Structure 1
Amino acid sequence: MAVWLDIIGSFLFGSLLVLNVLRLNGDMTDQSYRTILEYTAQSGALSVALIVDEDSRKAGYGVTGAAITIADTADIEFLSDLGADGSVDTLRYYLGDLVTTTP
């Protein structure tokens, strides 16, 4: 009788141990996915920030008049000679509608 109790106890303990290991594996996978998504979002935001920073430093380059044509809370437009070819380019950055769902 004691042998059966030992076998049943070992089976229960082993089952709980396996379930805990599976749960730990699932939690680690979930955290890994979250970390990757967060890094991807930060990397994309950094790329956009660097582009806007580089272009805004060139605002007014090669322009004789007013360089900034539109300046609003969600919209900016300025003139610059980006290609240094003598032609004035118009750059516009604006915020679009808020995206709440993905297709």
Structure 2
Amino acid sequence: MSTFLDIIMSAFIFGVLTLSLGRVQVNMNNTKAQNQFSYTVQTNAVELARLVEHDIVKIGYHVTGPKITAADSSSIAFNAALDNTGASTPIQYSVGAPSGLTETSNPRDFVLLRTVNGNTTSINFGLIQFNLKYFDAQNAIIPTPIIGSAQLDKIRGIRIRFSIQSSESVPVDTVWESVSWEKTILPRNLSNLNY
């Protein structure tokens, strides 16, 4: 009888240990997924920030006509020479529809559309917010949408804010990894000086 109880107790202890190890493995897998999503979101935020900042800083560079042609809270169109050839190029940033991304499980993400010289590129970094604010020479906010060349010519600074979330959630918690970025840029060529 005692041998039978020993076998039952051994089986019970083995079962508890097996369940504990299984739970540890599940926790490790969730942590690994969360870290991977976090790394991807941070990398995407850095890449998008570099791209947008590179273009916005060059607004009006080698431009003799209108520097900013359209400005709204989620889109901007401007002219700039992105390379050192001196040729002015029309550039536009705008947001796509949230329903435009069917390949991700995140219901809030959308693409950012970057159009350079008529060629549109969809940037799918898990963007959930893209907001632009415009400032005049006295650092006062200019209400959007900004209509007319006289109003567009008053723009001296642009605050860009975006938030990015992972395209998939952490499996168990349905938590979306996210990063926000914000910067106010004062393009040199929006002042009265032309470089």
TM-score after normalising by structure 1:
0.88
Q: Where is the strand percentage greater, Structure 1 or Structure 2? A: 2
Alignment of 1:52-71 (within 5 A): 52-71=52-71
Provide the aligned length of Structure 1 versus Structure 2.
103
The sequence identity of aligned pairs, in percent, is: 33
Q: Which residue number corresponds to residue 31 of structure 2? A: 31
Alpha-carbon separation, structure 2, partners of 1:36 and 1:102: 18
Between 1 and 2, higher relative CO (CA 8 Å, sep ≥ 6) is seen in: 2
- With 91-100 and 49-58 compared, the bigger mean Cα shift is at 91-100
Q: Which residue number corresponds to residue 78 of structure 1? A: 78
Q: Which residue number corresponds to residue 51 of structure 1? A: 51
Structure 1 residue ranges without an equivalent (≥5): none
Bigger-Rg structure (1/2): 1
Alpha-carbon separation, structure 2, partners of 1:50 and 1:75: 17
Q: Where is the helix percentage greater, Structure 1 or Structure 2? A: 1
Alpha-carbon separation, structure 2, partners of 1:101 and 1:13: 47
| Deviations 1:55-91, CA, capped at 9 Å, x for gaps | 1111111112331111101110111112222321011
Helix, strand or coil at the partner of 1:93: strand
Q: Which residue number corresponds to residue 17 of structure 2? A: 17
TM-score after normalising by structure 2:
0.49
RMSD after superposition: 1.7
Q: Which residue number corresponds to residue 102 of structure 1? A: 103
Q: Which residue number corresponds to residue 110 of structure 2? A: none
Q: How far apart are residue 7 of structure 1 and its match?
A: 1.8
Alpha-carbon separation, structure 1, partners of 2:82 and 2:50: 16
Structure 2 residue ranges without an equivalent (≥5): 105-195
Alpha-carbon separation, structure 2, partners of 1:71 and 1:28: 47
Alpha-carbon separation, structure 2, partners of 1:96 and 1:45: 18
Q: How far apart are residue 45 of structure 1 and its match?
A: 2.2
State the 4+ residue runs in structure 1 displaced beyond 4 angstroms.
Answer: none
Alpha-carbon separation, structure 2, partners of 1:34 and 1:45: 16
